[in-house]
Structure 1
Amino acid sequence: MDVLNIEPEATRSTRNARLIIFARGVSDFGAFLNMVALSTYVYWLSQSVVFVSIFLACRVTGGIVASLFGIPFFRRFAGRGTLAGLDLARALLLTPLLVLIPAHQLSVLPFIAFGIGLCNSLFAIGLNSQLPTWVALEQRVSTNAWITSAAATGAVFGSLLSGLLIATGGFESVFAVNIGTYVLAACLILPLRGLYSVVVAAHRGLWAEWRELTQGLRGAPVLAAVLLISMLDTLGSAAHNVGWPVLSQYISPDTAKTVMGYLLAVWACGKFIGARIASALLKRRGTQAMERLFMLGVVLMSSGFIMTFQQTELWLALLWVVWAGLGDGVSEVALVCRAQSEPDSLRLPLFSLLTLIQMAGFGVGMLVVGPFYLTWTPAQVIVLFHGLPLTALVVMTVWLGYSASREVKSTTP
């Protein structure tokens, strides 16, 4: 790869990093605004919880499909133009909700959900896997940390403002603002300029890509363990996302919606701080530090959520949810930075696999955890599902330590 000499690399990298951070923040704000508003809108139109479940299943299915064909897609259509196109596609998908009458919208909403889920996941895969071509190595950790912080902020503001917009201007105002956020994100992506002249890698076939990734993971057992823990962590995430309204009802039946807003806002503040801590710790550190920091983040996050759901007083729940947010921010930044440290040939398949793990795990988790809340308390459900990644972490630590000791003994004369 040859460095482009049109402008200094540091200047270009800094500008690219700022554009990506703002684009991701705006995009995630739109995604959460869209998720809350569309779910509410579907229930308002259909008056059916079953149809809402179908809508959410279509959205998750779109994300799973994106993870499966994301590799050939970005091998052929890499670059900023594709990412901007995905933002514009999300804007176009919402347009029928402004032009069709409500009676005709219900039949197209599952297709809209599938398309948005598809574009959301493709955008995340493309941006994360190509970020090293736009941001210099020394700025990568800081950029990932700010992306995580911006995503957490966008998630909370998107969730909170959707209700305000619906109350003041109706669903049409939410969809119009949502279309605007996606167009703005596309405009922020287009000025990106690569640090290097990169030749797009030829797609070798999906099975060949996955086979190379599998071989790479066999040579990096700690990274493989990180992926397994990440998969189990999505089950815990599904459990606490389903459990937020239930916990809020336990804490204050009369003001449950307000309590849930406080919990989400404080969690986001913790995640913001956690991302900044991860940025400070990971600078000038190797891949082993990233893996260890990810595992530490999982411990903080899962233990924080377990303790949050044991509380019946709001101030205690807020105290522990900050702890969970810290771990969430630390683990997310460490995981993304670790995946981006892989060579070009493995980075795209790795992010596709991560998306598949997260979407499939979260989708399955949403289906599995629901029945538990019918017979168990929220505290018991969270102990079970957030206990899974903690248990896996202990098992993997013991196993990796045992494997390392055997290797040392076998090489000792």
Structure 2
Amino acid sequence: MGNAVSAYGSYLNMVALNVFVYEVTDSALAAGLFMAVRLMTSVVSGFVSGRLVSAYDRKRLMVGADLTQCLAMVALLIAPEAGRAGLLYVLAIVTGFCSTLSGVALRSSIPEIVGGELRVRANSLLATGRSLAMIAGFASAGVIVAKLGYVAAISLDAASFAVSASVLLALPIRTKAAASQATASQATESQEAEPQEADKDGGRRARRRQAGSLLLLRAAPVLAVMIAVRAADGLGSSSHNVALPVYSSALDPSHPATFVSQFWATWAIGNIVMQQVCGRWAGRGGRQGPGERAFAIGACVMSAAFIVVFAGLPTGVAVVAALVAGMADGLTEIAYVSRLQAAPDAQRGRLFGLSASVENTGFGLGMLVSGALLDHFRPLQVVGLLHGLAIVLCLGMFVVLVRYGRRDRPAPETAPERDVPPVESEAR
């Protein structure tokens, strides 16, 4: 619930702050620069967040991220009007960094909070909360700004982060494996006792952890391909986000927002339904939830459905395609996050940090590419190109799954049982 409240504030400020920037600066370029600074901060902070959540207490990091965003919103409210323009870009950096840090910390903590066997159900509940928060945030932003003004919207955003931080502080949760906490405390004691030697050992440990993450991806090629597919999904997602207003305006120039609203409402319904299905299915009979093959199938179906939406078919067919896209998107989200959470705790934070940077990079690059292509090509061609790339990568992932599935399958008569590293256990 705390995460959903915080997500509501984030989606509310995505609308309110972007419009507020334009109101304060009276410049479309300044508004675009604000969004670009925030996105670039999210890309860079993914790598930093991975290191932080591996080295420090994740609960404290999440609480600190929420409180920092709350204070940043309050500072914007009490700042004089003359100084707000410059403060807005500081706010973009703060919110971009803190939201990424909080997301990486939470996702990497789920197996420790609820246990590995319940992580799929927990991911389903969190994803459902975020989806409902997205609907509420986007739907209420216009009403709140129109009726109550920007001060009320930004104040509500600040309050949502305060609620999230309070909930985290009140809950007696463990967000890191006991072994990792013991290692961190031993490292701290060693640094206090022998500073120079600790610096050398710390550097060696950092290099080993970095090499360990790279070796983890080399040892788990399926995981590496999944991260690459998520980058391609980011490209595709940016294409339909940019193309939707253009396509909707062409369908009905007098009511350009109609199709956009229908699309997102239907997509959200499909997304929430599939998240609940995955959570309930995983909760029965000790099932582990959707795996790598489900992720690949879901990503293919999702990209294909988004392409169908822009194919110029009747509105009813397009809405059904949006529903399918939402359901497939919900499936891939649960499968992907749960798969990364199967990694050992020592590498999990860095994996989620890398994933956040890759996804944000794909989305940002896709925004630029899509915007440039839409000046020369139809929405169907642009969406088909970028989502088609995701489909190609998914087919490549099938090849990897088949190849390594055959290689790891023991001979029926002679192959003895052997231990399987935790990171590859689900794939095998």
Q: State the TM-score, normalized to the length of structure 1.
A: 0.88
Q: Which moved more, 1:33-42 or 1:102-111?
A: 102-111
Distance 1:132 1:395 in 2: 29
Distance 2:120 2:410 in 1: 36
CA shift in 2, pair 1:278/1:311, >3 Å: farther
Residue 387 (structure 1) aligns with: 388
Cross-structure match for 1:301: 302
- Counterpart residue number, 2:324: 323
Where does the alignment leave 5 or more consecutive residues of structure 2 unmatched?
188-201, 415-428
- 1:58/1:111 contact within 8 Å kept: no
Matched with 2:240 is 240
Q: Distance in 2 between matches of 1:112 and 1:80?
A: 23
- Aligned pair partner of 1:113 in 92, 103, 120: 92
Conserved in 1, the CA contact under 8 Å of 2:8 and 2:136?
yes
In the alignment, the residues of structure 1 paired with residue 405 and residue 119 of structure 2 have an alpha-carbon distance, to the nearest angstrom, of 30
Q: Percent identity?
A: 29
Return closer, same or farther for 1:268/1:85 CA change in 2, 3 Å cut-off.
same
- Give unpaired runs (5+ residues) of structure 1: 1-21
**Amino acid in the other structure paired with 2:113:** W
1:135 aligns with 2:114: yes
- SS of the residue aligned with 2:254? helix
Report matched runs for 1:78-227 at 5 Å: 78-194=57-173, 198=178, 199-200=180-181, 201-202=183-184, 206-227=206-227
Aligned length: 391
Taking the aligned partners of 2:400 and 2:58, their CA distance within structure 1 comes to 40
Contact 1:80 1:192 in 2 (8 A): no
1 CA distance for matches of 2:177 and 2:150? 45
- Where does residue 271 of structure 2 map in the other structure? 271
Q: Does 1:37 align with 2:38?
A: no
Residue pair 2:51, 2:350 contacting (<8 A) in 1 also: no
- 1:86, distance to aligned residue in structure 2 (A): 0.9
* Whole-angstrom CA distance in 2 between matches of 1:218 and 1:253: 51
Q: Distance in 2 between matches of 1:370 and 1:49?
A: 15
Give the counterpart letter for 2:338 in structure 1. C
| Preserved CA contact (<8 Å) 1:301 1:325 | yes
Q: What is the deviation of 1:194?
A: 3.1
Once the two structures are superposed, what CA deviation does each residue of 1:203-235 show, in whole Å capped at 9, x if it has no partner? 855543332111112221211111111111110
CA RMSD of aligned residues (A): 2.4
- Quote the Cα distance in structure 2 between the aligned partners of 1:25 and 1:328: 19
Counterpart of 1:28, as a letter, is: A
The alpha-carbon distance between structure 1 residues 315 and 102, as it changes in their structure 2 partners (threshold 3 A), is: farther
User: What amino acid does structure 1 have at the position aligned with 2:44?
Assistant: V
For 1:337 and 1:405, the matched residues in 2 are separated by: 23
With normalisation by structure 2, the TM-score equals 0.85
| CA–CA separation in structure 1 for the residues paired with 2:282 and 2:218 | 25
Q: Per the alignment, do residues 407 and 167 of structure 1 end up closer, same or farther by CA in structure 2, a change over 3 Å counting?
A: closer
- Structure ID, larger Rg: 2
Counterpart Cα distance in 2 of 1:409 and 1:190: 48
CA 1:411 to 1:57, structure 2 compared with 1: closer, same or farther past 3 Å? farther
Q: 1:133 & 1:67 partners in 2: Cα distance?
A: 21
Shift of 1:397: 1.9
Q: How does 1:251-262 map to 2 (within 5 A)?
A: 251-262=251-262
- Shift of the 253–208 alpha-carbon distance from structure 1 to 2, 3 Å rule, reads farther
2:6 is equivalent to residue 27 of structure 1: yes
Instruction: String of CA shifts for 1:282-305, please: whole Å, max 9, x gaps.
Output: 453458x51112112212211111
In 2, Cα distance between equivalents of 1:382 and 1:412: 50
Residues in 1 aligned to 2:76 and 2:316: alpha-carbon distance in whole angstroms: 40
Partners of 1:342 and 1:72 in 2: how far apart?
Answer: 16
- CA drift of 1:46 comes to 2.1
What amino acid is aligned across from residue 249 of structure 2 in structure 1? Q
CA distance in 1, matches of 2:7, 2:267: 16
